[in-house]
Structure 1
């Protein structure tokens, strides 16, 4: 994780186009926000319908009753939302990989965190509380050491942690049937988590646009100087 000077890095690492990756990331984040909004709508529908007389889907002791139409549709909504979230994560990492490479080329410095942390930093317990934000901050700080980190980075990270650690957000400890039971008995924590995650997706999209615009401006300045 040590930062090392590498005067030849800019020559050895050509700048990579980043606008296309940024657009894809923004679209993916928007779709993730829509997916979680739809999930929130289904939480409200479940709460308004009320728990059936037959009780929750998970009856306990390994017994599950047949799902009704609304519960079955929630399973589909939940699965689709999970798939969209996975795609969004991959596209976001593609963008982050590109801006990291460009930051190294522009600054002549190696990233603070090695390439492996681009993936492990999100899933290794404890360190996932700061490494992803650190990688994003490093992208900006290595190119613009005299500029303050845009506030949107901290807003994004705070909302991400709230959604990650809220217990009913990005990581459900319960099964889908148990989440359905939660919607029947206490929907407000679920809706609060949904709102946080939608807000995190929105601020992430704004962060991608902000950092990409700054880096693209620096790349354009380098191109004009070289020409």
Structure 2
């Protein structure tokens, strides 16, 4: 065998159970955070807009927020922080299982390392690259197996959350979202529900792919 035909040098698989547990916990907390947003959206809708009108009243005038509106700002900020931490922990898990897939298969990942981060934020390609990276993790190690259905459920719900316009990425300020809750809460609640479902599907996906990869790691360790 000449040098060009030599297998890609790889390291031994790294432990993944700890990273998977952290990712599942982070996703569960993110789901709780978005469920809390939904509760506050309902509370705002039930309270109704104050007689003094919306928080931002135009012409540079912003009235003082009431107690419920202030508490929504806190829930919104806490939810954003939890979601950011969840994203970091999920990417750490994905990085770990990508490395292990390379170690187990002897093949380079289909997408370069940079796409682990850029794949989520670059317009258009973010519609398929993140799912492609996850599918590659499974397919490179188990080419004979079908991709678990939970991967497609997770990705479909994620895309629905992005497309909602009032879900993961608000185009409006927090005060403008408060006004939406006062005058039309149902789109907000629908987006909240989709995001909570996406977090649950992502947690199940993490458990499913981790268990399959750990099974292969254990098989390799026995020989």
TM-score (norm 2): 0.97
1:66 counterpart residue number: 64
How many pairs align? 220
User: Cα deviations across residues 126-163 of structure 1 (Å, max 9, x unaligned)?
Assistant: 11000000000000000000100000000000000111
Q: Check the 8 A contact 2:8/2:107 in 1, yes or no.
A: no
Q: Check the 8 A contact 1:15/1:102 in 2, yes or no.
A: yes
2:83 counterpart residue number: 85
Query: 1:115–1:6: structure 2 CA closer, same or farther, 3 Å change rule?
Result: farther
Separation of aligned partners in 2, 1:213 and 1:223: 15
Separation of aligned partners in 2, 1:60 and 1:209: 49
2:112 counterpart residue number: 114
Pick the aligned partner of 1:166 from 150, 164, 167.
164
2:183 counterpart residue number: 185
1:143 counterpart residue number: 141
Separation of aligned partners in 2, 1:62 and 1:129: 38
Where structure 2 has 5 or more consecutive residues not aligned to the other structure, the ranges are none
1:40 counterpart residue number: 38
Q: Check the 8 A contact 1:6/1:108 in 2, yes or no.
A: no
Q: Check the 8 A contact 1:6/1:109 in 2, yes or no.
A: no
Q: Check the 8 A contact 1:57/1:64 in 2, yes or no.
A: yes
3-state SS, counterpart of residue 57 of structure 2: strand
Compute the displacement of 1:6 (Å): 6.7
Compute the displacement of 1:164 (Å): 1.1
Separation of aligned partners in 2, 1:68 and 1:106: 57
Separation of aligned partners in 2, 1:45 and 1:36: 14
